[in-house]
Amino acid sequence: MVSVKLPKMDEDEIKDLLKNKSICRIAFIDEGYPYISPFQYVYFNKCLYFHFTDYGKKKNILLKNGNVCVSIEEFAPDLTSYKFISIQGNLKLIKDNKTSSRVNELVVMNFRIKMAINTIKNAKEVKDAA
């Protein structure tokens, strides 16, 4: 098997990946073991904000230990193109209701925009195939 080293991403490529994706994985530390889960996120004001419910295992883990690793990736189905970033840091809950509401609005808006883009792409593919 031939190993191929992925090229290093520059700052603009990293920002583009952060802006263009909306799903990530967050690895938490739960009693000495990793616990990984998918999350919706939005990149806003040079920060990542994640959509959390106000209950459950992930929130309980976060309240005990905010040290996390966030993974965001983009790849072609045949893996001819692959980009990923891995960010280690300390995740904090937003306590300000105004900021929390704004982030939730951005997550929903981001989701709707991506759904609209996918609908347009799919319609074009159907039209082109006809």
Domain boundaries, the chain: 11-129
Which pLDDT belongs to residue 28?
Answer: 96
Distance CA 128, CA 8 (A): 36
CATH for the stretch 11-129: 2.30.110.10
pLDDT, one tens digit per residue, over 21-73 is 989 999 999 999 999 999 989 998 888 999 887 778 998 999 999 999 999 99
- Among the residue ranges 7-11, 20-24, 38-42, 83-87, the one predicted with the least confidence is 7-11
Distance CA 61, CA 35 (A): 9
121 pLDDT higher than 70: yes
- Neighbouring C-beta atoms of residue 125, cutoff 10 Å: 10
Which pLDDT belongs to residue 101?
Answer: 86
